Structure 1
Amino acid sequence: MKPNDPSIDPPGEGRLAFAPRDHPPIPRARIGVILANLGTPDGTDYRSMRRYLSEFLSDRRVIDYSPWFWQPLLQLVILSRRPFRSGKAYRGIWNNEADESPLLTTTRAQAAALARALEPLYGERVLVDFAMRYGNPSTLSVIRGLKERGCERILFFPLYPQYSAPTTATANDQAFRALMTMNWQPSIRTVPAYFDEPAYIEALAGSVERAYAGLSRRPDLLVTSYHGLPQRYLTEGDPYHCQCQKTTRLLRERLGFAPEEAVISFQSRFGPEEWLKPYTVEEVARLAGAGKRNIAIMAPAFSSDCVETLEEIREEIQHAFRAAGGETFTYIPCLNDDTAHIAMMSDIVRRELGGWT
């Protein structure tokens, strides 16, 4: 068709260049950015918890036992009891005002803050949203929603600083599964692990320095507690353990701490097999027994405070420390929507969008 054909509308918002006048409106081409977090139950009741835990614990990236063995055990035994215990833990930290988990509240705040940080650079061309691997908003619904709003390219950002198969990989898997349901797929990129990103280390260090500045007595040491992983994952090639070690080393060096002033441990063990050691709940008790009565603890692998930090660390792990003779237990919150954390995300997004904008 010729450019001056009177049956053709000029290009503009919602119009393709040289499209017929009766052509359906087409959304303006945009780029989407999705912050992807672990997930959250919709409520603390038995059915909500069971639905969430079933999805989570049925993921072969998380529990890789044969389904013939695992599913009967999960559905008939574990999920008959665990939703009650998990529901109680969530009720202790639930955001009652918004009727949602703190993880959902914080991830929403992170997405909103990131959108504000990117707006001066990209205007309305880049849209920011967030999704959960398990629960809602689902990865599928968010990718479809961004595509309907004109996002022909999507940057998928798993909020896991250290890579592991049960976190980063399964988040990416879910994004790719979403594409499999779409006839018109957006192009997609995934953000790599950022465990040694200078801005990430700086943000962690800033949170430690602020916490220490508010204490009347300097802690004897800093415990960096990471989510655990079965030991065999390490021997099978998963880089998580090594990346956790490097994060703690870089943080210690940035803070100017001696090696004995910052130690590493692993929490949230599940099942009978051996996991990465030392286990945090045992390590803090050992430290207290060895005379380290005043400690600070943080969770660098978590981008947002959640049940593992707000309930497990501040309740179970703190109790183990005090029962062993510990005195001062200082929990340093996750980076959440801290300004330095959002600035780090913004820097990573700008770099990963290279060639797209």
Structure 2
Amino acid sequence: MKSDKNTRLGVVLMNLGTPVEPTPKAVRQFLEEFLGDRRVVEIPRLIWWPILYGIILPFRSPKVARLYKEIWLPEGSPLKVITEKQVDALQSRFSSGDVQVTYAMTYGAPKLEQRISELESSGVDKIVVLPLYPQYSATTTAAIYDQFAKLIVRQRNISNVTIHKEYYSRRDYIIALANSVRRHWEAGEQSEKLLFSFHGIPKRCVDKGDPYELQSRKTAQLVAEELGLVESQWAISFQSRLGKAEWLKPYTDLLLESWGREGVESVDVLCPAFASDCLETVEEIDKENREIFLSSGGKRFEYIPCLNDSVDHIDLLEKIVTEYRI
């Protein structure tokens, strides 16, 4: 990373992470770190370790590796490629040299500690960590706080770091999502239903105080209002559940299946919890859940891509960063 004497603010865009390659070994390494985090899975370790090491890692890793291989790009995984494009696009907004943008991953590489060290060495005065999770959850954003907490315990001169907690109801975020839907409709046609599919979390997390469900529902409501939709035209659901415990409902796959059987002919699906397209959107939604809806009687399934490196998204990120340039 190049040093610039004019750089005063460092920005770290932060996402979940990705395997380094679509192989069982690389996927196993990634899943071991990810699913081994107590923030992600709160089951007592004596119960969870046998499940993780005896069942999930040996049997799920090859399956997930095959799924990654289907969506892998020449430059790497979609999540990594898109995150790098977001960094480049955001950096181009700060040509004066007083803002330096990079990225880190909660699981895998590059690590937050590495990026903070690089930014401090380049001469920044303060750092903003911007998690690309619009809705806060202890299962995602809090894991970033944990990593920084572990870092400062080892530091004598504490880094001047601020973590931006959430942006689920920001007007510019809502507008960006609504505009992505409008553009999709303008390029084709509006479906009978607009489904907001959020990544799920165990219901017990919400019961313990996690605000994720409320924030997700608020995001969906605000976007629906911005689009002028009536209640019958949209719905919210939760995807990507793991294990037998109850997760947030309704489940995306079961809702789409029921819609197909009930005669709903067309659906548009938006995934507002994801800032970048990844395995959970490209494969799980646009492939797996598409097939579920169509095989259940649906006629047309349209996936609306994440904000990715769209102008509206970079505008939003630029505004957030600018608020820290004091």
**TM-score, normalising length from structure 2?**
0.96
2:249 alignment partner in structure 1: 277
Unaligned runs of 5+ in 1: 1-13, 15-25
Match of residue 81, structure 1, among 55, 59, 68 = 59
2:152 & 2:312 partners in 1: Cα distance?
Answer: 33
Preserved CA contact (<8 Å) 2:19 2:26: yes
1:57 alignment partner in structure 2: 35
Q: Secondary structure at the match of 1:44?
A: coil
Q: Secondary structure at the match of 2:97?
A: helix
Q: Secondary structure at the match of 2:321?
A: helix
2:112 alignment partner in structure 1: 139
Match of residue 38, structure 1, among 11, 16, 26 = 16
Q: Secondary structure at the match of 1:297?
A: strand
Identity of aligned residues (%): 39
2:186 alignment partner in structure 1: 213
With a CA cutoff of 8 Å and minimum separation of 6, indicate the structure with the bigger relative contact order.
2
- Confirm or deny that 1:249 pairs with 2:221: yes
1:4 alignment partner in structure 2: none
2:98 alignment partner in structure 1: 125
Q: After the TM superposition, which of the residue ranges 164-173 and 248-257 deviates more from structure 2?
A: 164-173
2:169 alignment partner in structure 1: 196
Compute the displacement of 1:228 (Å). 0.3
2:47 & 2:179 partners in 1: Cα distance?
Answer: 46
Compute the displacement of 1:61 (Å). 0.4
Match for 2:162: what amino acid? R
Match for 2:28: what amino acid? R
Preserved CA contact (<8 Å) 2:9 2:99: yes
Compute the displacement of 1:144 (Å). 1.3
Match for 1:94: what amino acid? W
2:314 alignment partner in structure 1: 342
- Confirm or deny that 1:288 pairs with 2:289: no
RMSD: 1.5
Unaligned runs of 5+ in 2: none
2:9 & 2:251 partners in 1: Cα distance?
Answer: 42
Compute the displacement of 1:276 (Å). 0.4
2:47 alignment partner in structure 1: 69
- Confirm or deny that 1:174 pairs with 2:147: yes
Number of matched residues? 324
Q: Deviations over 1:160-181 (max 9, x none)?
A: 0011101111122223323333
Match for 1:53: what amino acid? L
Compute the displacement of 1:29 (Å). 6.7
Preserved CA contact (<8 Å) 1:151 1:186: no
1:106 alignment partner in structure 2: 82
Preserved CA contact (<8 Å) 2:7 2:97: no
Q: Secondary structure at the match of 1:321?
A: helix
